[in-house]
């Protein structure tokens, strides 16, 4: 999904559209007579004017303009561009990380509990977690020194709401990317804040932590998320290696 499509999606949620009157009879009568060239031109111009007027009115309001360009939604994640990040610990403790990721389980248990086919890297993860919304996390490294995080979440687990909220400051760039034919987002530059959302969509404050570069995309009914110290091209190569 392009940035314009993302922005239009956000705008669509904010616009209240009044119920349309029943014009069926009048339209059918008009169609029977058939529109002339001048009528078609007037109709096209009227539609274009309404669209541009609505867009212009939205962009004239600072709050609406801010929301229009500063919110991205993909793979159960809501990414918000903010002017200033909240203060959080630079590195999570083991307890903090397990609070954010869920229960530590064996690889075999994760496969059984997942309910979908997990995709894996050639390298075996150092730890495996099974979290809320049926998310399976592969951790490479240690909780105090995370080298790579791989998350996989089935689409039905976040069909109506989000599982993660991200706050990205001015130093974090958000790029639209193609991941094996699926739309994705890459967050690069300075670290951003990750917040876990509970089943009611409320922020779990204790889960707040700084995240490194992130690649997120959705494919085949599953949302995928890679987090680590990598470039965009390295992240895309890692995504391709998931089997």
Contact 167, 195 (CB under 8 A): yes
3-state class of 238 per DSSP?
helix
Q: Tally the domains of the chain.
A: 2
**Confidence category of residue 216, pLDDT binned at 50, 70, 90:** very high
Residues 25-49, mean pLDDT to the nearest whole number: 51
Q: State whether 47 and 82 are in the same domain.
A: no
Q: State whether 90 and 176 are in the same domain.
A: yes
Q: Which domain holds residue 15?
A: 3-67
Residue that is last in its domain, among 45, 67, 89 = 67
Q: pLDDT tens, 230-239? A: 999 999 999 9
The Cα–Cα gap between 33 and 103 comes to 69
Residue that is last in its domain, among 26, 46, 67 = 67
Token pair of 238 as six digits: 């890692």
The Cα–Cα gap between 101 and 103 comes to 7
Residue that is last in its domain, among 34, 67, 100 = 67
Q: pLDDT tens, 39-97? A: 555 544 443 333 333 333 333 334 433 444 489 999 999 999 998 988 886 666 776 77
Q: State whether 29 and 80 are in the same domain.
A: no
Contact 161, 201 (CB under 8 A): yes
Q: State whether 110 and 37 are in the same domain.
A: no
pLDDT number for residue 65:
36
Q: For residue 192, what is the DSSP state?
A: E
Q: State whether 35 and 104 are in the same domain.
A: no
Q: State whether 50 and 107 are in the same domain.
A: no
Q: State whether 36 and 82 are in the same domain.
A: no
Buried (b) or exposed (e) across 131-163, using 16+ Cβ within 10 A?
Answer: bbbbbbbbbbeebeebebbbbbbbeebbeeebb
Q: State whether 123 and 199 are in the same domain.
A: yes
């Amino acid at each position: 999904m392009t940035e314009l499509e993302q922005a239009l999606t956000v705008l669509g949620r904010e616009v209240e559209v009044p119920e349309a009157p029943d014009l069926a009879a009048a339209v059918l009568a008009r169609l029977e007579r058939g529109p002339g060239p001048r009528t078609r031109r007037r109709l096209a111009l009227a539609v274009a004017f309404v669209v541009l007027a609505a867009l212009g009115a939205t962009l004239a309001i600072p709050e609406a303009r801010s929301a229009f360009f500063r919110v991205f939604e993909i793979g159960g994640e809501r990414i918000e561009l903010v002017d200033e990040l909240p203060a959080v610990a630079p590195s999570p403790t083991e307890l903090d990380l397990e609070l954010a990721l869920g229960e530590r389980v064996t690889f075999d248990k994760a496969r059984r509990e997942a309910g979908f086919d997990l995709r894996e890297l050639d390298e075996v993860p150092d730890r495996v977690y099974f979290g809320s919304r049926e998310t399976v996390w592969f951790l490479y490294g240690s909780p105090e020194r995370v080298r790579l995080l791989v998350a996989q979440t089935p689409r039905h687990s976040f069909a109506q709401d989000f599982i993660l909220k991200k706050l990205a400051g001015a130093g974090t760039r958000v790029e639209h990317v193609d991941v094996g034919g699926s739309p994705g987002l890459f967050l690069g530059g300075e670290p951003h804040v990750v917040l876990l959302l509970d089943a009611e969509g409320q922020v779990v404050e204790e889960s707040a932590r700084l995240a490194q570069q992130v690649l997120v995309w959705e494919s085949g009914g599953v949302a995928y998320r890679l987090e680590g110290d990598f470039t965009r091209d390295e992240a895309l190569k890692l995504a391709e290696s998931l089997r």
